Amino acid sequence: MTPDCILLVQGLSKHFGGVKAVTGIDLEVHTGETLAIIGPNGAGKTTFYNLLSGRLVPSSGSIQFKDHDITGLPPHVISRLGISRSFQLNNIFTEMTVRENVEVAVTAQRRESWRWANRAAANKAVQQDADALLAELSLAHLSDRVAGTISYGDKRLVEIAMVLATRPELVLLDEPTAGMTPDETGRIIELVRTLARTGHYTFLVTEHDMRVVFDLADRILVMHHGSRLILDAPEVVRADPEVRRAYLGDEAADMMEPA
């Protein structure tokens, strides 16, 4: 691995019976970059995330994260090493407050085993972490709201707060703007951009919204039928005739035009 490489994927495949969901993916992700992963429905994007995050064991190939071979390791181990992901569908506890949701995520990832005597201090630390995160994401004003009652866009932001609760280095976002209004989408773009600028995070982002892709991505990986079609700078991907016509369709090709 080169020094600026945070994730090295080699020959990664996942087959479900006869379905080659992911097949022979090679990918080197650079520390600090935002890499968008695009491709039609069923291209294998979520399966790829499931392999990286340990929810699925690869059929073949390897995944190296920093100094660790994480191929086939379980999700909680991969999460503790510094990879955190969001899910394509909303995944928060609707009966709990926003702060409690984030506290759950913070607690779940604590490496320390607290003694009973330290319980109060532990709770305080968790609450402080959660509050800091909520402030960082401009969600502090929603802390005491029951999560089920806030807007869809805010729910997805809370979900991102939960993803960041583990203080990961590599963040996998699966369609973070799906179902959002243009305003809500704008907030997500701004948030990811701001977080990326801190230099603390490397992002992989799957997206169908080309505005998000071209606003955020340093590079774009196009997947098709489970394999890597192209990996390049946005302007190269945008101009690639194969991507435009054969794999994204005319409608998506139009969306790839600069506004």
Residue 31 and residue 227 in contact, taking contact as beta carbons nearer than 8 Å: no
Number of helices (H), then strands (E), in the chain? 10, 10
According to CB under 5 A, which one of 13, 23, 34, 46 is a site residue for Mg ion?
46
* Three-state secondary structure call for residue 162: helix
Scanning 45-53, 192-200, 229-237, 247-255 for contacts with ligand ATP by CB under 6 A, the matching segment is 45-53
CA distances from 202 to 24, 31, 78, 141 (A): 23, 6, 15, 27
DSSP collapsed to 3 states, 228-256? EEEEECHHHHHHCHHHHHHHCHHHHHHHC
Scanning 7-15, 29-37, 38-46, 115-123 for contacts with Mg ion by CB under 5 A, the matching segment is 38-46
44 touches ligand ATP (CB under 6 A) = yes
54 touches ligand ATP (CB under 6 A) = no
Structural tokens at position 221: 């990986």
Q: How far is the CB of 125 from Mg ion (least distance, A)?
A: 35
Residue 99 and residue 144 in contact, taking contact as beta carbons nearer than 8 Å: yes
DSSP strand pairing (219-224 vs 227-232): antiparallel
220 touches ligand ATP (CB under 6 A) = no
Q: How far is the CB of 39 from Mg ion (least distance, A)?
A: 9
Residue 106 and residue 130 in contact, taking contact as beta carbons nearer than 8 Å: yes
Q: How far is the CB of 87 from Mg ion (least distance, A)?
A: 10
Q: Which C-beta is closer to ligand ATP: that of 130 or that of 223?
A: 223
23 touches Mg ion (CB under 5 A) = no
Scanning 40-48, 93-101, 197-205, 237-245 for contacts with ligand ATP by CB under 6 A, the matching segment is 40-48
According to CB under 6 A, which one of 24, 32, 42, 186 is a site residue for ligand ATP?
42
39 touches ligand ATP (CB under 6 A) = yes
86 touches Mg ion (CB under 5 A) = no
Q: How far is the CB of 207 from ligand ATP (least distance, A)?
A: 9
CA distance 183 to 75: 33
Scanning 43-51, 104-112, 117-125, 176-184 for contacts with Mg ion by CB under 5 A, the matching segment is 43-51
Residue 56 and residue 14 in contact, taking contact as beta carbons nearer than 8 Å: yes
Write out the residues near Mg ion by the rule CB under 5 A. 45-46
Write out the residues near ligand ATP by the rule CB under 6 A. 16, 19, 21, 39, 41-47, 88
